[in-house]
Amino acid sequence: MKIIQDVGGGKNKKTIFNMDGTDSKVNLGSIPLVALNVTVRKKLGLYLNPKHTVAADWTAVAETMGFSYLEIKNYEASRNPTKTILDDWAARNSETSVGKLVSILEEVERKDIVEDLRALIDEDVRKYLETQKKKAEPPVQVPEVDSCVPRTPERSGITVDDIPGGIPEMFDAFICYCQSDFEFVLEMIRELEQTEYNLKLCVFDRNVLPGSCVWTITSELIERRCKRMVVVISDEYLDSDACDFQTKFALSLCPGARSKRLIPVVYKSMTKPFPSILRFLTVCDYTRPCTQAWFWVRLAKALSLP
* Domain locations along the chain: 28-130, 171-304
pLDDT attached to residue 95: 75
Residue-wise pLDDT tens digits, 127-180: 888 887 876 766 555 454 443 444 455 566 789 888 777 788 999 999 999 999
Supply the mean pLDDT for the chain.
83
Q: What is the mean pLDDT of residues 41-62?
A: 87
User: Would you give the distance in Å from CA 126 to the centre of its chain?
Assistant: 18
Nearest-angstrom CA–CA distance, 19 and 190: 50
Nearest-angstrom CA–CA distance, 89 and 33: 9
Nearest-angstrom CA–CA distance, 258 and 224: 17
pTM (predicted TM-score)? 0.52
pLDDT for residue 5 is more than 60: no
pLDDT attached to residue 89: 87
pLDDT for residue 37 is more than 90: no
Q: 171-304 maps to which CATH number? A: 3.40.50.10140
CATH superfamily, with its number, for domain 28-130: Death Domain, Fas (1.10.533.10)
Name every residue whose Cβ is closer than 8 Å to that of residue 145 and which is 6 or more positions away in sequence. Answer: none
Identify the burial level of 262 via C-beta atoms within 10 angstroms of its C-beta, where 0-12 means exposed, 13-18 middle and 19 or more buried: buried
* Of the candidates 265, 262, 256, the residue with the CA atom closest to the CA atom of residue 291: 265
pLDDT for residue 77 is more than 60: yes
Helices 81-92 + 38-48 axis angle, to 10: 120
* Of the candidates 25, 303, 58, the residue with the CA atom closest to the CA atom of residue 174: 303
